[in-house]
Structure 1
Amino acid sequence: MLNSPFTVWEGDNVHGRRAVVTGVSVRLDSLFARAPGAARHVIATGLDLTGAAKGQLHGRFPSVDGDWLGVVNYEIGYADGRQGKLYLVDQLVPFHVLRKL
């Protein structure tokens, strides 16, 4: 777990402290928005960046402009439906693409 000044902790020093992990969904369409008018070239084995992916929020940081970024672990599936997924760890994600589960 990432230990940041903004990590939320539970427990105490006697019984142990643990970082609070919050279940979230990551709106991939918003996180990986395509440029307006960009040509589409389908790659069947590419990553499926549509819909939402389940993730675990375990840290947070503010930006200089006051926007919040979450530190999130999540998985992205492939367009061809294979079992394996790309597992992303400690990714900075804007809060506006996260939804609490």
Structure 2
Amino acid sequence: MAINSPFTTWEGDDVHGRRPVLTRVGVRLDRLFARLPGAPRRVIETGLDLTGEVEGRLHGRFPGVDGDWFGVVNYELRYADGRPQQVYLTDQLVPFHVLRLRE
């Protein structure tokens, strides 16, 4: 069951099923998982690659108390060693400043 935000748009009907409308976005992992300046780096070749941008599917949003917006996003993370398996993340709250609309 997907997180149903107050701003989720739905398609379909009760007979054929309802599903959230998905909007393609880019998730900028470098911003989402920013490292502290000067933090020591130790490369783990079998670790997750948290750099660059990956495709995500936005299906809802929530406002934060300070006026920032957070999207409800599904996306995948790759492993640094290039293996075909990925880590699938669903219903993640992601700050809008790390998202980019894709066509």
* Both structures adopt the same fold (TM-score exceeding 0.5): yes
Alpha-carbon distance in structure 2 between the residues aligned to 1:48 and 1:23: 21
What does the per-residue CA deviation read over 1:3-44, in whole Å, with 9 as the maximum and x for residues that have no partner?
221212346678865422101110000000000100000000
State the one-letter code of the partner of 1:84. Answer: Q
Distance 2:18 2:76 in 1: 27
For 1:38, give the aligned amino acid: A
Q: Kindly report which structure 2 residues correspond to 1:20-99, keeping only aligned pairs within 5 A, or say none.
A: 20-99=21-100
Percent identity (aligned): 72
Q: Which runs of 4+ in 1 moved over 6 A?
A: 12-16
CA–CA distance in structure 2, aligned partners of residues 46 and 16 of structure 1:
38
TM-score (norm 1): 0.90
Gap regions ≥5 residues in structure 2: none
Q: Aligned partners of 1:78, 1:99: CA distance in 2, in Å?
A: 22
The AA in structure 1 aligned to 2:39 is: A
More divergent stretch after superposition (84-93 vs 18-27)? 18-27
- What is the CA RMSD across the aligned residues, in angstroms? 1.7
Unaligned runs of 5+ in 1: none
Q: How many residues align?
A: 101
Q: Distance in 2 between matches of 1:91 and 1:68?
A: 13
